[in-house]
Amino acid sequence: MQKPLSLFSFSKSKHHGTILCAVLRQPYSGHKPATTESKKPVDPRRIFKVYRFGGVSSNEKPQVMNYDLDVSTCGRMVLDALIKLKDMDPTLVFRRSCREGICGSCAVNLQGHNCLACITAIPQDKTINIYPIPHMYVIRDLVVDMTHFFDVYNSLRPYLIRRDSGSLGKFQYAQSISDNAKLVGLYECVLCSCCSTACPSYWWNGRRFYGPASLLHAYRWIIDSRDEDTEQRLFELRDDFKAFRCHTIINCTLACPKGLHPALIIAKLKRLISGLDKKEPPEIDTMKFSSSGPSCGC
């Protein structure tokens, strides 16, 4: 059973047309897997309603196209169904690569909720709606323009920064087990943008508010005991919009297909930015391996 998170919990309400549930540590799991528990056999014939758009340079208007598909003829995930639909209609365009929830490229909006198509089971519903992730410019069909999303991510300098940059790649930087554990719940992010595109603040202020995905990564590098650019990173986030446009609506956490909690991370990040919390010093000397330790072999 899912356990309520004490820091954020409130009752059912509506905000910007998006249903907020009591906040759970686990992500929203509205797309139930096609389990074998159900006693009644479910009719495998489904109607897929898929958003289609030829792009701004085409003269086409966006439309929803219906496809009849017997889902017993494909795998059990939404991506399997999309691939089957593409066999039927090669003009259908969507992104995918790894088909195992690692590359983050197959994010779509399924039955009104963002998900990764490759790790989400085909819903039991008769009619299945598939749209691009919301509030993004559509390039074609289910493919959206991720340029701005990745520009913001890149602006965070998402890599280790050391004062002694000359030593980079020459030896390992030591990190204690508990310092390393602080990165759990952060490094697993696959940058799928399901969270950011479910965030009302990102919808309305996406050019100035960084959004939950980028802020989660900002915190990941700030909190890393081996990184030495903490002050500058925090200084760059001291702004009314970049992090503080998060109003703890928590749609991001409900949307994350990897079970991460960007809303909680942003709350921690805000405390660091505003000086209410301080980053703890490394538990062990990060230069421990610099003279006699093993080389990283790079």
Q: Which is nearer to ligand FES, 65 or 103 (CB)?
A: 103
- Provide the minimum distance between the beta carbon of 258 and ligand FES in the complex, in angstroms, as a whole number: 10
Comparing CB distances to ligand SF4, the nearer of 174 and 189 is: 189
Residue closer to ligand FES (CB basis): 101 or 206: 101
Is residue 59 within 8 A of residue 74, CB to CB? The reply is no
Report CA torsion sign: 104, 109, 110, 112.
positive
CA distance 121 to 85: 16
Max intra-chain CA distance, the chain: 67
262 binds, among ligand FES, ligand SF4, none (CB under 5 to 8 A by kind): ligand SF4
Enumerate residues 170-189 that contact ligand SF4 by CB under 6 A: 189
Which of ligand FES, ligand SF4, none has residue 194 at its interface (CB below 5 to 8 Å by kind)? ligand SF4
CA dist 134 and 192 (Å) reads: 13
Q: Is 111 left (phi over 0), alpha (psi -120 to 50) or beta?
A: left
Taking the complex as a whole, the smallest distance from the CB of residue 136 to ligand SF4 amounts, in Å, to 13
b (16+ CB within 10 A) / e for 168-192: eeebbbbbeeebeebbebbeebbbb
Among 108, 213, 218, 223, which residue sits at the site for ligand SF4 (rule: CB under 6 A)?
A: 213
Per-residue binder mask for ligand SF4 (CB under 6 A), 254-283, x = binder: -xx-x-x-xx--x-----------------
118 counts as binding ligand SF4 under rule CB under 6 A: no
Structure tokens at 211: 């959004």
Please state, in angstroms and as integers, the Cα–Cα distance from residue 89 to each residue in 68, 143, 175, following that order: 12, 16, 52
Contact 115, 108 (CB under 8 A): yes
Strands (E), the chain: 13-15, 18-20, 45-52, 63-70, 107-110, 113-116, 127-131, 138-140, 143-144
CB nearer to ligand SF4: pick between 52 and 220: 220
Question: Which one of ligand FES, ligand SF4, none is in contact with 72 (Cβ closer than 5 to 8 A by kind)?
Answer: none
Among 156, 173, 177, CA closest to 164: 173
- From the list ligand SF4, ligand FES, none, which binds 101 (C-beta under 5 to 8 Å, kind-based)? ligand FES
216 binds, among ligand FES, ligand SF4, none (CB under 5 to 8 A by kind): ligand SF4
**Which candidate, 85, 61, 81, places its Cα nearest to that of 71?**
81
Q: How many angstroms separate the CA atoms of 74 and 76, rounded?
A: 7
Query: What residues pair up with 241 in beta bridges, in sequence order?
Result: none
**19 or 103: CB nearest ligand FES:** 103
* Partner whose footprint covers residue 99, from ligand SF4, ligand FES, none (CB < 5 to 8 Å by kind): ligand FES
**Which of 110, 115, 144, 199 lies at the binding interface for ligand SF4 (CB under 6 A)?**
199
Contact range with ligand SF4 by CB under 6 A, out of 39-47, 126-134, 155-163, 191-199? 191-199
Q: Which residues bind ligand FES (CB under 6 A)?
A: 96-99, 101-106, 116, 118
Applying CB under 6 A, the residues found at the interface with ligand SF4 are 189-195, 199, 201-202, 212-213, 216, 246-252, 255-256, 258, 260, 262-263, 266
